[in-house]
Amino acid sequence: MTNPILSNWTTPFEIAPFADISDDDFAPALDQAMTAHNAEIDAIAANPDTPTFANTVEALEAAGAQLDKVLSVFFTVAGADSNPKREELQRVFSPKLSAHFSGISSNKALFERVADLWARREDLKLTEEQARVLMLTHRGFVRAGAALDGDEDARMQEIKSRLASLGTSFTQNLLADERDWFMDLTEQDLQGLPDFVVNAARAAGAEKGAVGPVVTLSRSLIVPFLQFSPRRDLREKAYRAWAARGANGGETDNRDIAAEILDLREERAKLLGYDNFADYKLETEMARTPDRVRELLMQVWEPAKARADADAEILTRMMQKDGVNGPLEAWDWRYYAEKRRKAEHDLDEAELKPYLQLDRMIEASFACANRLFGLEFKPLNVPLYHPDCRAWEVTRNGRHVAVFIGDYFARGSKRSGAWCSAMRAQARFPKEQAPIVINVCNFAKGDPALLSYDDARTLFHEFGHALHQMLSNVTYESISGTSVARDFVELPSQLYEHWLEVPEVLAEFATHAETGEPMPQVMLEKVLNAANFDQGFQTVEYVASALVDLAFHDGDAPADPMAKQAEVLAGLGMPQAIGMRHATPHFAHVFAGDGYSSGYYSYMWSEVMDADAFAAFEEAGGAFDPERAKALEDNILSTGGSREAEDLYLAFRGRLPGVDALLKGRGLIAA
C-alpha cells in the first residue's frame, strides 16, 4: 500500500490529503524520501559528463521532491498542531535530517562539479536568474563547510547535528512550559475585566479542561489580562510565569541549551574562518557587519529609552495615586499604560475590540490585496490539518495564483507567536507550480472572534509575508517568495501593516460585532491618533532583545548567557519596568534554529525600509496608487531572491532610506 504522503495527491490543487495521513506514516515516508533523494544526489555527483548548469545546478533544484512533500506536511502539523507522537518524531527527525543535508553539503564530488561551474561562470552564458542561483548554490556549499576536509569536516557534521537536536529541544521545552501553565480564576477574579477577556478566559478554561476560567501563557490572553486586571497580585503571578518560560528548572529548562548552542555556533564560524558567528551570519545580509547593525539599533535606542523613561514617570505617579507605593514593575506597565491611553486618547480597547472582528479583518486584508494587486479570494472546502483552519483559492483575472490557508486561533497544541510558511513554493522548474501558503496566528477564540489592534496588525503582517509567497514569479524554487536576506524578508510584511491604518480601510471593515455599524469617525480618529502610543515601551523591549542577540554572537560565546544578558541590559540602562520582548530562555527566534540568530535586528532594519516604502505611496496617488503597487510587485514581491536585496529596493524606490523615517513613524522624533 502506497504511503499517503508519498502518493500522487488528487486533492484540489494537490493540497496535502491530511484526512488520509496518520502520524505512523511520517517515519517510513521520511526514510523512503531520504533514500530517493540520496539516489538523486549520487547520480548528479557521479555524472561522467562535464558539469553544466542543467546537469548539476538544475538537477539539484529538481531533486528531493518526495522529501519536500514529507517535510512540508510534517513541519506544518508539528508547529501548529503538535502532540506527544509528533514531538517524539521531531526529536528523531532533527538529527536524521541534519545528517542527511550535511551529507549533501559535504559531498566532495558534488561540490567539485559546482565549483567547476563557478570557476567557468563567465563562459556559461547564463541568464541573470541562473547566474544568481549558481552563486547562491556555490556560496551555500562553502558556508556549509563543503571545502573542509578530514577532522574539520567531521567536526562540522557533528556540530550541525547537535545544533539541530538542541533547537528542537529548545522549542519543545518552551511549548511544554506554555502548554502546562495556567492560572485558575474565580468569578471574583474576573471583576474589572472587559467581556472579551472574560470570554477568552472561559474559552481557555474549557480548552484546558479546567473547572472555570483560566489565564494561559498565550500572548492573546495574557497581554489583555495584564492590561485590564485591577488585581496587582494576579498580574504579578501571571507576568512572572510568562517571563519564566524556559527557565523553571527541571527537564524543560533552556538555559544550558542556550549556552551550548552559542558555543557550537562560535566553533562552527571559526571552522569556516570567521572571527565570530555574527560575522559569519551577517555576511549574506543587507547589513553585512555587526557594526552596522549596532549603529542602527543604538540610533533607535537613545530616543526610545528617553521616551520610555518619561513615560515611566507618568505611570509611576498614576500608580501612586492608586495608593501603590514602591517602584513601577513590569506587571504594572501595561495596566497603567492602558489607563493612560483611555485618559489621553479617550480610547478604551474594550470599546474598540467589537469593531475588530477577525472575519472582517481577514476581509480587509483580502480587499487591500485586491485593490493593490488584483487578487481575488474564493473559499475552499477541503480537509485540512485542524478544524480551525480555513482555505481560499487565490486568482487574478480568472487565473489560479495560489491556495491560502489561515489558522488563526490559539490552542495548546500550537507553538506561540505567528508565522507564515509555504507548504509549496512558487516555481516554473522543473514544472509549473503555484504556491500553497499558510498564515498561523494565536488569537483568542470567541463568538465572534474579536481582535486587539495589535492582533489586527499581526494579521496584516503575516498576510504581507503570504503576498510575498503568492506573488512570486521566478523560475527556481530556491529563490522563490521569501527566500531572501533575513533583514529584507520582513519588508513586505511590515509594509503591509500600514494598510490597516488607512482610514478608508478601517471605515469600511471595522464594523461593530453586534450592530454592524461602522466605527464612528471620532473613534477612528482616536485609533489613528493613538497609533504611536506607548512606542517608548514597545521599542525598548524590542531593541533590547536585538542588542542581546547581537552581543551573544559578536565575540566569544558567553559561558553564562543569563549573565551576559544582564550585563548588556545594565550597560544600556534598561528601564526597570520593561522586560525584554524575548528573554534568553524563551528567545525562540534565536535559539530554535539559526533563522534569526544574530539577526533579530532585521525587523528594525526592514522597518527603516517599510516606513520609507509606504511614504512612496503617500507621495504618489495615496495608499492604493496603482503605479506604486505595480512597482512594489515588479521589484520586490514577485522577484524573490533573484537579485541582491539592496538592488531590489533601489529599483523600487530609487534610493536607500535613512533612520529618520522610522523614528518619525514611531513618533520618537517630531514629524
The number of helices, as runs of H, and strands, as runs of E, in the chain is 27, 7
Read off the pLDDT of residues 205-242 as tens digits, 9 standing for 90 and up: 999 999 999 999 999 999 999 999 999 999 999 999 99
Long-range contacts made by residues 3-10, C-beta under 8 angstroms, separation at least 24? 3/28, 3/29, 3/32, 5/29, 5/69, 5/70, 5/73, 6/32, 6/33, 6/66, 6/69, 6/70
Which residues have CB under 8 Å from 607's CB, separation 6+? 490, 494, 662, 665
Q: How far apart are CA 133 and CA 425, in angstroms?
A: 16
Q: Please give the pLDDT value at position 349.
A: 85
Domain at 12-147, CATH from 3.40.50.720, 3.40.640.10, 1.20.1050.40, 1.10.10.10: 1.20.1050.40
Q: What is the pLDDT of residue 671?
A: 63
Domains 12-147 and 251-347+535-596 share a fold: no
The second-level CATH assignment, the architecture, of 354-477+486-529+603-665 is Orthogonal Bundle (1.10)
pLDDT > 90 fraction of the chain, expressed in percent and rounded: 94
Q: Which residues are catalytic?
A: 462
Hey, is 284 helix, strand or coil? coil
Q: Is 76 exposed, middle or buried (0-12, 13-18, 19+ CB in 10 A)?
A: buried
Using CA atoms, how far apart are residues 183 and 238, in angstroms rounded to an integer? 7
Give CATH for domain 251-347+535-596: 1.10.1370.10
Give the alpha-carbon dihedral of 330, 664, 352, 195, to 10 degrees.
-10
Q: Is 105 helix (H, G, I), strand (E, B) or coil?
A: helix
pLDDT in tens, 104-115: 999 999 999 999
Q: What is the pLDDT of residues 23-36, one digit of tens each?
A: 999 999 999 999 99
Instruction: Give the per-residue pLDDT at 167.
Output: 96
pLDDT tens-digit profile of 311-326? 999 999 999 999 999 9
Q: Please report the pLDDT score of residue 86 as a whole number.
A: 97
Residues of the chain with pLDDT under 50: none
Query: Does the CA dihedral 257-258-263-265 come out positive or negative?
Result: positive
Domains of the chain: which residue ranges?
A: 12-147, 193-245, 251-347+535-596, 354-477+486-529+603-665
What gap in Å lies between CA 449 and CA 459, rounded to an integer? 13
Grid coordinates in use for 289? Answer: 557587519
Could you report the per-residue pLDDT of 334-350, keeping only the tens digit for each? 999 999 999 999 988 88
* The pairing of beta strand 436-443 with beta strand 399-409: parallel
**Under a CB-based contact definition with an 8 Å cutoff, are residues 425 and 461 in contact?**
no
What pLDDT score was predicted for residue 529? 86
